[in-house]
Amino acid sequence: MTAEILNTEIKFLPGVGPKKAEILNSELGIYTFWDLLNYFPYKHIDRSKFYKISEITEGVASLQLKGTIKSLRIEGQKYKSRLVATFEDGSGSIELLWFQGVKWVKEHLKPGKEYIIFGKPAFFNGRINIAHPEVDEPETIEQKGIATLHAVYTVTEKMKKNFITSKSINKMQLVALQKCYPSIIESLPNYLLAELSLPFLNQALKDIHFPENLQQLQKAQFRIKFEELFYIQLQLLKLKYQNISKLNGFVFHKVGEYLNDFYKNKIPFELTNAQKRVIKEIRADLGSGRQMNRLLQGDVGSGKTLVALMVILIGLDNNYQTCIMAPTEILAKQHFTSISRFLEGMEVKIGLLTGSTKSKERKKLHTELQSGEIQILIGTHALIEDVVQFKNLGLVVIDEQHRFGVAQRAKLWKKNTSPPHVLVMTATPIPRTLAMTLYGDLDVSVIDELPPGRKPIKTSHLFDAKRLRLFGFLKKEIEAGRQIYIVYPLIQESEKMDYKDLEDGYESIVRAFPPPMYTVAVVHGRMKSEEKEKAMQLFIKGQAQIMVSTTVIEVGVDVPNASVMVIESAEKFGLSQLHQLRGRVGRGAEQSWCILMSSYKLSNEAKKRLAIMVETNNGFEIAEADLKLRGPGDLEGTQQSGVAFNLKLANLAKDGHILQLARNKATDILDKDHLLDNQSNSILKKQLKLRKLHNINWGVIS
């Protein structure tokens, strides 16, 4: 699609050459002129304003001055020498300093000449200096037409060492644009450009590297972000349309003995309306003759497992095998236990396959799966492996979807002649925009209601100094028959210190809650699994009133009698983790509490996180807030999503409105032209092909 010039190797760009080209290759992945043009500035500095030296005050940001270099001198010893220039603008004088490239800079600056300089002023002994300022001659700035907004590019240490600065990248962009401009081929159809008043691609590229004003820059950014997000949506939605039209699904037409028996005799409680609605939605999929690809979102404790189980039973009623895949061994075991318990007394064969399943046991499982004897297989991603073969797999349930990618899903599809139905469940609610991108090819069901009788958990934030008050409160709860979790953070970098905190904490708790009146159980990752199991059982059976642990319990136990979750050093946890932890309580009928302990020293962000936790119990609101606070790059489970989608400019946290627009447009277009066969959509088809090959790296989401 691109003309020759765009694919020219970067070393041939005037001013680059083989050595710099190698660095651009390895540091930024820039191989061609086109790659360079798509290396976008991360910010623009407003250089429309000139400051006077007399206006400079302590603490100001980078600023621009126009004046004359009066004198230049080298000071200091040979190896520690520095270049000092006295710079005046009529209102005062400052010093410009260079510690590196001293000789080169000295040769290139002429005393008495007028320069425009840019940099961050510092105060030293009552004098103002600017170290390593950017220096331009006024003519070049005017000539380039870049006197207003200056593009700033990320450069690495290695690049700096080799004299590739943000400024030199900008210079390269100028040369590349001059050479390529007429050859840049438009990548969006005309009708879309017109409808949305977007600039042409060549214009947008020129404007993002060399904007003449803010408005022009914003238009360019909008167009580039829109395009990025639009093609991802188009690809995902096209996939969805294809699945609908091409993939035959197994028809689960009947509801039989398994579901009926469970529903009539075994189910321990009335389904919530949300659970009923979601099951209906899923049943419609299963009966449609199409393969189901559905995302089930629901807050912690909303009862997703039960929904999954009922869907599984429909699968069994139709003589299919089913499986549940969980992200961790603990979670897989928990599903195994709770589903076995739900189905007690029913003739259903359930298997458990995880990384630690012994090879003899594993072989037996493999045989029983192939013969069809095992009806429900529960496991970790060990069950994706090719050696795991089913007789007739009809339904796959994936828990905590955000850790699995489309690639893994595709692997599961291959486990039968036609792909099995897929139900993915997320325990961590994710913001709408992220869901659209991560699961854009899925239909979505939401459980937006908690089982009845649950009182909303009350959350408060206490400083460490109030520990005595906390202990008093805990004693009262224990007297009332409740149980308590106390969780300590575990951060890999400071693991040793964290364990020390946990040990110290455990000791002080045992001192405050001494035996034989109280029993305190402790669980952490360094214990052997039998020890862990033993401690957990103490708590589950109600023999221990307090459970002290690291975050291992995050995805673990379900103890309805536990009514207090104390989170130590809560400022160290991310929002979604805090929310997950809090979800361990509030499962019974009693009022539950979450108490966030922290030191007085809190960053602004930590303060906001704790405030959000105190304010709301709603996982979706929390996820939105998290996304805003941290940006999608850091959201748990989505770290790689930005990489996977190769988003260069768009930001899933800030550009939700553009994403929505992109999705709407993609939907409109595909509604009218499923396969993009219309002449007017030929650009779209071509672009999708190109981008599929180069851009989306599904495997990265794991």
Catalog residues that contact ligand ADP under the rule CB under 6 A.
269-272, 275, 298, 300-306, 427, 451, 558, 587
| H helices, E strands: number in the chain | 25, 22
Q: Residues with Cβ < 8 Å from 227, sequence gap 6 or more?
A: 187, 188, 201
Q: Quick one: CA dihedral 137, 139, 143, 145, positive or negative?
A: positive
Q: Tell me 290's DSSP state.
A: B
Shortest Å distance, C-beta 427 to ligand ADP: 5
Shortest Å distance, C-beta 588 to ligand ADP: 9
Shortest Å distance, C-beta 307 to ligand ADP: 8
Shortest Å distance, C-beta 537 to ligand ADP: 17
What count of Cα atoms within 13 Å lies in the side-chain half-sphere of residue 209? Answer: 25
Q: Which is nearer to ligand ADP, 30 or 306 (CB)?
A: 306
Residues forming a β-bridge with 594: 459, 565
Least Cα distance to 655 among 236, 231, 229, 237 occurs for: 229
Shortest Å distance, C-beta 303 to ligand ADP: 3
Q: Which is nearer to ligand ADP, 451 or 574 (CB)?
A: 451
Backbone angles phi, psi at 592, to 5 degrees: -115, 160
Backbone angles phi, psi at 534, to 5 degrees: -60, -45
Give me the DSSP letters along 533-552: HHHHHHHHTTS-SEEEE-GG
Q: Which is nearer to ligand ADP, 85 or 427 (CB)?
A: 427
Q: Tell me 101's DSSP state.
A: S
Cα angle for residues 119, 124, 130 (degrees, 5° grid) = 15
Q: Which is nearer to ligand ADP, 287 or 451 (CB)?
A: 451
Q: Would you call 496 exposed, middle or buried from its count of C-beta atoms within 10 A (0-12, 13-18, 19+)?
A: exposed
One-letter amino acid at 564 equals V
CA dist 176 → 129, 169, 380, 550 (Å): 35, 10, 50, 54
For residues 214 and 220, give the distance between their C-alpha atoms in angstroms, rounded to a whole number: 10
Shortest Å distance, C-beta 398 to ligand ADP: 13
Tokens standing for residue 313: 């039973």
Shortest Å distance, C-beta 483 to ligand ADP: 15
For residues 381 and 677, give the distance between their C-alpha atoms in angstroms, rounded to a whole number: 38
Q: Which is nearer to ligand ADP, 235 or 577 (CB)?
A: 577
Shortest Å distance, C-beta 302 to ligand ADP: 4
Distance separating the N- and C-terminal Cα atoms of the chain: 32
Cα angle for residues 443, 444, 450 (degrees, 5° grid) = 160
Shortest Å distance, C-beta 270 to ligand ADP: 6
Q: Tell me 93's DSSP state.
A: E
> Helices 201-209 & 166-180, crossing angle to 10 degrees?
150
Q: Which is nearer to ligand ADP, 249 or 298 (CB)?
A: 298
Q: Give the sheet arrangement for strand 483-487, strand by strand.
A: 458-463, 593-598, 562-567, 483-487, 546-549, 520-523
Tokens standing for residue 105: 């800079």
Least Cα distance to 367 among 391, 384, 335, 336 occurs for: 391
Q: Which is nearer to ligand ADP, 271 or 510 (CB)?
A: 271
Q: Which residue is nearest to ligand ADP (CB)?
A: 303
Shortest Å distance, C-beta 582 to ligand ADP: 12
Q: Which is nearer to ligand ADP, 59 or 345 (CB)?
A: 345
CA dist 480 → 168, 470, 474, 515 (Å): 70, 16, 10, 18
Tokens standing for residue 210: 């060399």
Q: What does the H/E/C string look like for 613-674? A: HHHCCCHHHHHHHHHHHHCHHHCCCCHHHHHHCCCCCCCCCCCHHHHHHHHHHHHHHHHHCC
Shortest Å distance, C-beta 292 to ligand ADP: 19
Q: Which is nearer to ligand ADP, 172 or 547 (CB)?
A: 547
Q: Which is nearer to ligand ADP, 278 or 292 (CB)?
A: 278
Q: Residues with Cβ < 8 Å from 500, sequence gap 6 or more?
A: none
Q: Which is nearer to ligand ADP, 304 or 403 (CB)?
A: 304
Question: How many CB atoms within 10 Å of residue 540?
Answer: 19
Q: Which is nearer to ligand ADP, 126 or 453 (CB)?
A: 453
Q: Which is nearer to ligand ADP, 92 or 560 (CB)?
A: 560
For residues 390 and 689, give the distance between their C-alpha atoms in angstroms, rounded to a whole number: 34
Place of tokens 């600017």: 130
Tokens standing for residue 489: 């953070």
Q: Which is nearer to ligand ADP, 37 or 307 (CB)?
A: 307
CA dist 314 → 303, 334, 395 (Å): 18, 22, 10
Shortest Å distance, C-beta 453 to ligand ADP: 7
Shortest Å distance, C-beta 61 to ligand ADP: 47
Shortest Å distance, C-beta 581 to ligand ADP: 13
Tokens standing for residue 654: 């800030």
Shortest Å distance, C-beta 452 to ligand ADP: 7
Q: Which is nearer to ligand ADP, 64 or 426 (CB)?
A: 426
Q: Which is nearer to ligand ADP, 335 or 665 (CB)?
A: 335
Place of tokens 């002429």: 110
Strand 393-399 and strand 321-325: the pairing is parallel
Q: Which is nearer to ligand ADP, 340 or 519 (CB)?
A: 340
Shortest Å distance, C-beta 181 to ligand ADP: 55
Shortest Å distance, C-beta 275 to ligand ADP: 6
